[in-house]
Amino acid sequence: MLASIHDVSPRSHAQVDRLAHLLERHTGTGRFAMLVIPDHWREAPIEGNAAFGTQLRAWADAGIEMFLHGWCHRDETPATQGFAGFKGKHMTAGEGEFLNLPHDEALARMARGKALLEDVLGRPVAGFIAPAWLYGEGAHAALRELGMPLAEDHMKVWRPASGEVLSRGPVVTWASRSKGRIASSLAFARLARTALPLALPTLRLAVHPGDTTVPALMDSIDQTLARFVRSHRPARYADLARSARGPG
Protein backbone atom coordinates (compact mmCIF):
# COMPACT_ATOMS: atom_id res chain seq x y z
CA MET A 1 0.00 0.00 0.00
CA LEU A 2 1.34 3.40 -1.04
CA ALA A 3 0.03 6.43 0.85
CA SER A 4 0.81 10.08 0.16
CA ILE A 5 0.09 13.58 1.41
CA HIS A 6 -0.35 16.11 -1.38
CA ASP A 7 0.14 19.89 -1.45
CA VAL A 8 2.85 20.10 1.18
CA SER A 9 3.95 23.71 1.60
CA PRO A 10 4.38 26.35 4.30
CA ARG A 11 0.73 27.36 3.92
CA SER A 12 -0.45 23.81 4.79
CA HIS A 13 2.08 22.97 7.50
CA ALA A 14 -0.41 22.42 10.34
CA GLN A 15 -2.78 20.33 8.20
CA VAL A 16 0.07 18.23 6.81
CA ASP A 17 1.30 17.56 10.31
CA ARG A 18 -2.16 16.33 11.31
CA LEU A 19 -2.40 14.09 8.26
CA ALA A 20 1.09 12.72 8.89
CA HIS A 21 0.10 11.65 12.40
CA LEU A 22 -3.02 9.95 11.01
CA LEU A 23 -1.05 8.04 8.40
CA GLU A 24 1.64 7.04 10.89
CA ARG A 25 -0.94 5.40 13.14
CA HIS A 26 -1.66 2.94 10.34
CA THR A 27 1.55 2.72 8.32
CA GLY A 28 4.28 3.28 10.88
CA THR A 29 6.91 6.00 10.81
CA GLY A 30 8.02 7.17 7.40
CA ARG A 31 6.12 4.67 5.29
CA PHE A 32 4.37 7.21 3.13
CA ALA A 33 5.22 10.04 0.75
CA MET A 34 4.83 13.81 0.70
CA LEU A 35 4.27 15.85 -2.47
CA VAL A 36 5.96 19.22 -2.05
CA ILE A 37 5.05 22.47 -3.84
CA PRO A 38 7.99 24.91 -4.08
CA ASP A 39 5.79 28.04 -4.17
CA HIS A 40 2.11 27.24 -3.60
CA TRP A 41 0.03 29.60 -5.79
CA ARG A 42 3.10 31.86 -5.74
CA GLU A 43 2.16 32.84 -2.19
CA ALA A 44 4.12 30.38 -0.04
CA PRO A 45 7.73 29.96 -1.21
CA ILE A 46 9.89 27.32 0.42
CA GLU A 47 13.02 29.15 -0.65
CA GLY A 48 14.19 31.33 2.22
CA ASN A 49 11.87 29.68 4.75
CA ALA A 50 14.47 28.11 7.05
CA ALA A 51 11.95 26.76 9.56
CA PHE A 52 9.93 24.90 6.95
CA GLY A 53 13.09 23.63 5.27
CA THR A 54 14.19 22.19 8.60
CA GLN A 55 10.82 20.46 8.94
CA LEU A 56 11.05 18.99 5.44
CA ARG A 57 14.50 17.58 6.18
CA ALA A 58 13.24 16.10 9.45
CA TRP A 59 10.38 14.37 7.64
CA ALA A 60 12.77 13.05 4.99
CA ASP A 61 15.23 11.88 7.66
CA ALA A 62 12.35 9.89 9.20
CA GLY A 63 12.00 7.99 5.91
CA ILE A 64 9.19 9.92 4.25
CA GLU A 65 9.67 10.03 0.48
CA MET A 66 9.65 13.51 -1.02
CA PHE A 67 8.18 14.07 -4.48
CA LEU A 68 8.25 17.33 -6.41
CA HIS A 69 4.64 18.41 -6.97
CA GLY A 70 4.79 21.02 -9.69
CA TRP A 71 6.10 24.52 -9.06
CA CYS A 72 3.12 26.64 -8.01
CA HIS A 73 0.20 24.16 -8.44
CA ARG A 74 -1.82 26.77 -10.36
CA ASP A 75 -2.86 26.38 -13.99
CA GLU A 76 -1.50 29.54 -15.58
CA THR A 77 -2.02 28.32 -19.16
CA PRO A 78 -5.60 26.96 -19.10
CA ALA A 79 -7.07 25.36 -22.20
CA THR A 80 -10.60 26.44 -23.08
CA GLN A 81 -11.53 23.82 -25.66
CA GLY A 82 -11.23 20.12 -26.36
CA PHE A 83 -10.35 17.32 -23.98
CA ALA A 84 -7.64 19.37 -22.26
CA GLY A 85 -10.19 22.07 -21.52
CA PHE A 86 -12.60 19.46 -20.15
CA LYS A 87 -9.95 17.99 -17.86
CA GLY A 88 -8.80 21.38 -16.66
CA LYS A 89 -12.36 22.43 -15.84
CA HIS A 90 -13.83 19.26 -14.37
CA MET A 91 -10.87 17.39 -12.83
CA THR A 92 -9.34 20.24 -10.86
CA ALA A 93 -10.15 23.72 -9.53
CA GLY A 94 -7.71 25.60 -11.75
CA GLU A 95 -4.74 23.63 -10.43
CA GLY A 96 -3.63 21.49 -13.37
CA GLU A 97 -0.36 23.41 -13.66
CA PHE A 98 1.42 21.00 -16.04
CA LEU A 99 -1.52 20.03 -18.24
CA ASN A 100 -1.01 22.70 -20.89
CA LEU A 101 2.51 24.01 -20.29
CA PRO A 102 4.71 24.07 -23.39
CA HIS A 103 7.78 21.89 -23.22
CA ASP A 104 10.34 24.62 -22.45
CA GLU A 105 8.32 26.04 -19.57
CA ALA A 106 7.51 22.60 -18.18
CA LEU A 107 11.20 21.70 -18.26
CA ALA A 108 12.24 24.98 -16.63
CA ARG A 109 9.75 24.70 -13.77
CA MET A 110 10.50 21.04 -13.19
CA ALA A 111 14.28 21.57 -13.21
CA ARG A 112 14.08 24.60 -10.92
CA GLY A 113 11.80 22.80 -8.47
CA LYS A 114 13.97 19.70 -8.44
CA ALA A 115 17.13 21.72 -7.73
CA LEU A 116 15.46 23.74 -4.99
CA LEU A 117 13.92 20.78 -3.21
CA GLU A 118 17.07 18.67 -3.40
CA ASP A 119 19.08 21.57 -1.98
CA VAL A 120 16.64 21.86 0.94
CA LEU A 121 16.51 18.11 1.57
CA GLY A 122 20.15 17.28 0.94
CA ARG A 123 19.08 14.23 -1.11
CA PRO A 124 17.45 13.40 -4.46
CA VAL A 125 13.72 13.73 -4.89
CA ALA A 126 11.78 10.47 -5.20
CA GLY A 127 10.18 11.64 -8.43
CA PHE A 128 7.62 14.05 -9.85
CA ILE A 129 3.84 13.97 -9.55
CA ALA A 130 1.97 16.67 -11.44
CA PRO A 131 -0.65 18.78 -9.67
CA ALA A 132 -4.07 17.11 -10.01
CA TRP A 133 -2.23 14.17 -11.65
CA LEU A 134 -2.56 15.98 -15.00
CA TYR A 135 0.27 15.94 -17.57
CA GLY A 136 0.57 17.41 -21.02
CA GLU A 137 3.01 16.41 -23.74
CA GLY A 138 5.51 19.02 -22.56
CA ALA A 139 5.46 17.63 -19.05
CA HIS A 140 5.99 14.05 -20.24
CA ALA A 141 8.98 15.12 -22.32
CA ALA A 142 10.46 17.11 -19.42
CA LEU A 143 10.12 14.10 -17.11
CA ARG A 144 12.19 12.01 -19.50
CA GLU A 145 14.81 14.68 -20.09
CA LEU A 146 15.38 15.29 -16.38
CA GLY A 147 15.56 11.57 -15.61
CA MET A 148 12.88 11.69 -12.93
CA PRO A 149 12.91 8.26 -11.24
CA LEU A 150 9.13 7.89 -10.84
CA ALA A 151 5.85 9.54 -11.75
CA GLU A 152 2.20 8.74 -11.21
CA ASP A 153 -1.24 9.76 -12.45
CA HIS A 154 -4.76 8.73 -11.48
CA MET A 155 -4.36 5.22 -12.85
CA LYS A 156 -0.69 4.19 -12.75
CA VAL A 157 2.85 4.59 -11.45
CA TRP A 158 5.63 4.51 -14.05
CA ARG A 159 9.30 5.14 -14.82
CA PRO A 160 9.49 8.16 -17.13
CA ALA A 161 12.83 7.17 -18.66
CA SER A 162 11.58 3.84 -20.01
CA GLY A 163 7.81 4.20 -19.82
CA GLU A 164 7.66 1.00 -17.75
CA VAL A 165 4.43 0.84 -15.75
CA LEU A 166 5.05 -0.38 -12.21
CA SER A 167 1.47 -0.39 -10.93
CA ARG A 168 -2.01 0.02 -12.36
CA GLY A 169 -5.24 0.89 -10.60
CA PRO A 170 -7.10 3.97 -9.36
CA VAL A 171 -5.75 6.08 -6.56
CA VAL A 172 -8.23 6.51 -3.70
CA THR A 173 -8.53 10.18 -2.79
CA TRP A 174 -11.02 12.60 -1.29
CA ALA A 175 -12.32 16.04 -2.31
CA SER A 176 -13.45 18.76 0.07
CA ARG A 177 -14.30 21.73 -2.14
CA SER A 178 -18.06 21.10 -2.51
CA LYS A 179 -20.83 19.04 -0.94
CA GLY A 180 -21.20 17.03 -4.13
CA ARG A 181 -17.50 16.16 -4.30
CA ILE A 182 -17.46 15.28 -0.61
CA ALA A 183 -20.38 12.90 -1.11
CA SER A 184 -18.91 11.28 -4.22
CA SER A 185 -15.48 10.77 -2.65
CA LEU A 186 -17.04 9.21 0.44
CA ALA A 187 -19.02 6.85 -1.79
CA PHE A 188 -15.98 5.86 -3.84
CA ALA A 189 -13.94 5.22 -0.68
CA ARG A 190 -16.66 2.89 0.63
CA LEU A 191 -16.60 0.97 -2.65
CA ALA A 192 -12.80 0.94 -2.69
CA ARG A 193 -12.60 -0.57 0.80
CA THR A 194 -14.66 -3.51 -0.43
CA ALA A 195 -13.43 -4.03 -3.97
CA LEU A 196 -9.86 -2.85 -4.39
CA PRO A 197 -8.07 -5.02 -1.80
CA LEU A 198 -9.41 -8.09 -3.59
CA ALA A 199 -8.53 -6.85 -7.07
CA LEU A 200 -5.18 -5.06 -6.90
CA PRO A 201 -1.71 -6.12 -5.73
CA THR A 202 -0.82 -2.48 -5.04
CA LEU A 203 -3.20 0.02 -3.45
CA ARG A 204 -2.68 3.78 -3.56
CA LEU A 205 -4.22 6.33 -1.23
CA ALA A 206 -3.76 10.13 -1.35
CA VAL A 207 -4.88 12.79 1.10
CA HIS A 208 -4.91 16.59 0.91
CA PRO A 209 -4.72 19.37 3.51
CA GLY A 210 -8.34 20.35 2.79
CA ASP A 211 -9.48 16.93 3.99
CA THR A 212 -8.77 18.04 7.55
CA THR A 213 -11.61 20.57 7.37
CA VAL A 214 -14.32 17.90 6.95
CA PRO A 215 -14.70 15.39 9.82
CA ALA A 216 -16.52 12.89 7.60
CA LEU A 217 -13.56 12.82 5.22
CA MET A 218 -11.09 12.27 8.04
CA ASP A 219 -13.22 9.40 9.35
CA SER A 220 -13.35 7.88 5.87
CA ILE A 221 -9.58 8.18 5.46
CA ASP A 222 -9.09 6.50 8.82
CA GLN A 223 -11.44 3.65 7.90
CA THR A 224 -9.86 3.18 4.49
CA LEU A 225 -6.35 3.03 5.91
CA ALA A 226 -7.47 0.52 8.53
CA ARG A 227 -8.97 -1.71 5.83
CA PHE A 228 -6.10 -1.44 3.39
CA VAL A 229 -3.37 -2.30 5.91
CA ARG A 230 -5.19 -5.52 6.82
CA SER A 231 -4.41 -6.96 3.39
CA HIS A 232 -1.56 -4.82 2.00
CA ARG A 233 1.78 -3.96 3.58
CA PRO A 234 2.48 -0.23 3.93
CA ALA A 235 5.45 0.51 1.69
CA ARG A 236 7.37 3.24 -0.09
CA TYR A 237 7.37 3.98 -3.80
CA ALA A 238 11.01 2.93 -3.81
CA ASP A 239 9.92 -0.53 -2.63
CA LEU A 240 7.60 -0.79 -5.63
CA ALA A 241 10.44 0.20 -7.97
CA ARG A 242 12.78 -2.37 -6.42
CA SER A 243 10.24 -5.18 -6.57
CA ALA A 244 9.55 -4.42 -10.24
CA ARG A 245 13.28 -4.59 -10.97
CA GLY A 246 13.47 -8.07 -9.48
CA PRO A 247 16.38 -9.85 -7.74
CA GLY A 248 19.79 -8.32 -8.23
Residue ranges and CATH numbers for the domains of the chain are 2-245 (3.20.20.370)
Residue-level pLDDT at 159: 98
pLDDT digits (tens, 9 = 90+) for 31-89: 999 999 999 999 999 999 999 999 999 999 999 999 999 999 999 998 644 444 444 45
Residues 174-180, mean pLDDT to the nearest whole number: 95
- Beta strand residue intervals within the chain, DSSP E: 2-8, 33-36, 65-68, 127-128, 151-152, 156-158, 165-168, 171-173, 204-207
The residues, any chain, with a CB within 8 Å of residue 19's CB and separated by 6 or more, are 5, 207, 209, 211, 212
Residue-level pLDDT at 85: 44
pTM: 0.93
Alpha-carbon gap, residue 148 to 46, rounded angstroms: 21
User: 3-state SS of 111-168?
Assistant: HHHHHHHHHHHCCCCCEECCHHHCCCHHHHHHHHHHCCCCEECCCEEECCCCCCEEEE
Residue-level pLDDT at 90: 46
Alpha-carbon gap, residue 230 to 27, rounded angstroms: 11
Band of the pLDDT at 129, cuts 50, 70, 90? very high
Mean pLDDT of the chain: 93
Alpha-carbon gap, residue 71 to 35, rounded angstroms: 11
Residues 86-98, mean pLDDT to the nearest whole number: 64
